[in-house]
């Protein structure tokens, strides 16, 4: 879904994981309202980006079953 005014991405869905919405942190007025639940595409992270070691981390997009397990 994109902002009708500026075209920026607001959220997305994945047909393999019905009922889950991926909200873009950049679309929020207050990003602290939500807490991260997992890290995806970790192998693309830059060196200066710190990742919470307590979060489940995936090098690439995890399969739907793994995401459902983390989100349940």
Q: Is residue 16 included in any domain, yes or no?
A: yes
Q: Is 58 exposed, middle or buried (0-12, 13-18, 19+ CB in 10 A)?
A: middle
Reported as a single tens digit per residue, the pLDDT across 33-72 is 888 889 999 999 999 988 899 999 999 988 888 888 888 8
Which candidate, 14, 13, 11, 20, places its Cα nearest to that of 69?
20
Q: Is residue 53 included in any domain, yes or no?
A: yes
Q: Is residue 6 included in any domain, yes or no?
A: no
Residue 19: its pLDDT value, please? Answer: 81
Q: Is residue 51 included in any domain, yes or no?
A: yes
Q: Is residue 1 included in any domain, yes or no?
A: no
Domain holding 59, by residue range, is 11-27+35-71
Averaged over 23-37, what is the pLDDT?
Answer: 87
Domain count within the chain: 1
Q: Is residue 5 included in any domain, yes or no?
A: no
């Amino acid at each position: 879904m994109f902002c009708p005014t500026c075209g920026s991405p607001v959220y997305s869905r994945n047909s393999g994981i019905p009922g889950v919405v991926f909200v873009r942190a950049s679309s929020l007025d207050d990003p602290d309202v939500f807490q991260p639940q997992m890290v995806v595409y970790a192998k693309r992270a830059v060196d200066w980006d710190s990742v919470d070691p307590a979060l489940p981390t995936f090098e690439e997009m995890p399969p739907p079953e793994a995401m459902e397990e983390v989100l349940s």
